Amino acid sequence: MSNSDIPNFESHSISLRPMDEYNQRLVSYTHPPDWVNPQPADYYDLVVIGAGTAGLVVAAGAAGLDVGLKVALVEKHLMGGDCLNYGCVPSKTIIRSARVVGEILRARDFGISTAHYIEVDFPEVMQRMRRVRASISHNDSAERFQKLGVDVFLGSGRFASRDTVEVAGKSLRFKKAVIATGARAASLEIPGIETAKYLTNETVFSLTQRPQRFAVIGGGAIGCEMAQTFRRLGCDVIVFHNKAHILNKEDIEAAQVVQNAFIKEGIRLELNCEVERVEKTSDGKRIYFSSKGERNSITVDEILVGTGRAPNVEGLNLEAVGVDYDKSRGVVVNDFLQTTNPQIYAAGDICMDWKFTHAADAAARIVIKNALFSPFGLSKQRLSSLIMPWVTYTDPEVAHVGMYDHSAGSGANTIKIPFSSVDRAIADGEEEGFVKILLRQGSDEILGATIVARHAGEMISEVTTAIVNKLGLNKLTTVIHPYPTQAEAIRKAADAYRRTLLTPRTKRLLGLLTKIS
C-alpha cells in the first residue's frame, strides 16, 4: 500500500474513492467539509478523542443523560470509525450479496433449475454497499451529535498538558478524558509488498472493478470472510495462512467445517505457509511463498492483507499526560479501563484484545459509569465481568462465547448436537454445523459455547443470556423453542444434559414414583 492509498487523516477535507454521490453523502455526514468547530467551553466534564463506536457511545451516553455535563468529541477522520466506514457495515453488506450467489449455486440441490452461468455485477455490488453505508451514516453524523449537546471538533487531537487537549488550534480543558482512537490494519514486513501495493479493510471497499485473481494473506476472521465473499463474487481466490488450518483461534471442529466449505467452493488454501516476497510484474503481483518444504509462486491482481490490527497511539502526545502505552498492544488500562493517569480512560480497539464493535460499545458504557458516576471509586464496573460473544461471518457462521474445551482441560464436559439431528437444519440443507456447549464437570453451569450454522450469530445470544444470568443448561429445557427452528439444537443440548442425570438410582426412584402415582 503506497502513501497515496492511505487516507489523509490530517486534512480537514476528506475524500473517499470513488467520490460518487454515495461517498459524498457519507462524508457530508461524518466529516462535513464546511464544518466549523465550535468555540470551546471554559471547561469540559469529558473530552473524548476518537469518534468510532467507543467514542460515540461515551459521548452520546454522557450527554444524553441530561444532567448538565459538558462533553466534547474530537475526530480527525470519519465519524463512525471502522465499523461504519471500513468494517461491519460495508463488509456485511457485500457478504449479503455473496450469500445470494451461494444460494443460487446450491439451487439445484433444492429442485430449482438455474442458468449454468451466474452473472455478478461487481460494480453494482460495491455501489450497493456504498449506498447502504451512506444511508445509515447520519446516525454517526457530526450534526446529530451536535444536536445531542456534544461539542464536535474535527481535527487531530493531542494532549497538551495534564488537563488540556489541543485540536485545530483550540484548547479543550477537561476534568476527565477518554482515548478511543481505535486501531488500523497492521502492516506486514514482506519484501516488495509496499512497492507492489496491497489492500486492507480500509481500502478494499474502494474497489469498483472485480480483480479476477485475488490473494488473501491471513486466515483469521477478516481474511476468511473476505476470501469467501470475493470467491462468490467471481474471483479466483487463494488464501495464505501460516497455521495448520484457517480460523486457528476458534474451535478446531468449527474451523474444519468452514475449511471444508471453502475447499468445496474452490478457494485455494496454502496452509503452514510463509509468504517470502512480492514482486510487481507486467502481469500483476507475483507472490513467492514456501509451504510444506517447497517454494512456489503465483501471480494475482490484488492482495488483501488481513493479519491483525495496530493501535492508533501515534500523535496523541501521551507522554505529556503520563499515559503508558505499547505500540503493538495499545494504551495500558486496568480492569476499570483507567489508564496510568487516573483522570484518563480508554475504550475500544485502542486498549482491548476484543476488537469488536459490540465490545467497544460495552466498554464505553463501563467508562461512563466509572469515569462519571463512581465517586471515590465506589461501585466501579470491571471489563473482566463482561461475557463477550463474537461471530465470524463466513457461511456457515462461527459464533462463540466463553471458554473453549481446549482451555478448560479435564474440569469440563462437552455436549455436542450436530445439525444433522435437527429437523429444520435437515429441511434447510444445512446439516454440516453443530452446537457445542461446555459445562463445568459435575454441574450444568455453562462455561462456553460454539455454534456453527448459517445464522449462528443469531443463535448465540440465548446461550450468552444464560451465562450472564447464571442459568444452568438444565434451565433451558424449560424454554419452549418454536418447531421447526435450528435454535432447537440448543434445547436438544439441554435435554442431552438432563439425560446424563438419569443414573441407575434416579431411574429406580422414577420407577417407584410411577407405581404410586
Which residue in 346, 481, 313 sits closest to 54, CA to CA? 346
Q: Is 82 annotated as a binding residue?
A: no
Torsion 167-310-51-468 (CA) sign: negative
DSSP code at position 483: S
Number of other CB atoms surrounding residue 37 within 10 Å: 18
Q: Classify 172 as helix, strand or coil.
A: strand
Q: Is 218 annotated as a binding residue?
A: yes
Q: Is 224 annotated as a binding residue?
A: yes
- Residue recorded with cell 450472564: 468
Q: Is 220 annotated as a binding residue?
A: yes
Q: Is 448 annotated as a binding residue?
A: no
Q: Which helix (H) or strand (E) holds 497?
A: helix 488-500
Q: Are 12 and 123 in contact (CB under 8 A)?
A: no
Number of other CB atoms surrounding residue 324 within 10 Å: 12
Calpha distance 391→383 (Å, rounded): 20
Number of separate helices (H) and strands (E) present in the chain: 15, 23
Q: Is 293 annotated as a binding residue?
A: no
Cα angle value 67/72/75 (rounded, 5°): 145
Q: Are 198 and 305 in contact (CB under 8 A)?
A: yes
Q: Is 456 annotated as a binding residue?
A: no
Q: Is 369 annotated as a binding residue?
A: no
Q: Is 149 annotated as a binding residue?
A: no
Q: Is 157 annotated as a binding residue?
A: yes
Q: Is 287 annotated as a binding residue?
A: no
DSSP code at position 144: H
Q: Which residues contact 499 (CB under 8 A, 6 or more apart)?
A: none
Q: Is 236 annotated as a binding residue?
A: no
**Structure-block grid coordinates of residue 33:** 467539509
Strand 164-167 vs strand 157-161: parallel, antiparallel, or unpaired? antiparallel
Calpha distance 178→52 (Å, rounded): 12
Q: Classify 468 as helix, strand or coil.
A: helix
- Residue recorded with cell 438444565: 474
Q: Are 346 and 331 in contact (CB under 8 A)?
A: yes
Residue type for position 323? V
Residue ranges of the binding site: 92, 157, 218-225, 308, 349
Residue ranges of the binding site for NAD(+): 218-225, 308
Residue ranges of the binding site for FAD: 92, 157, 349
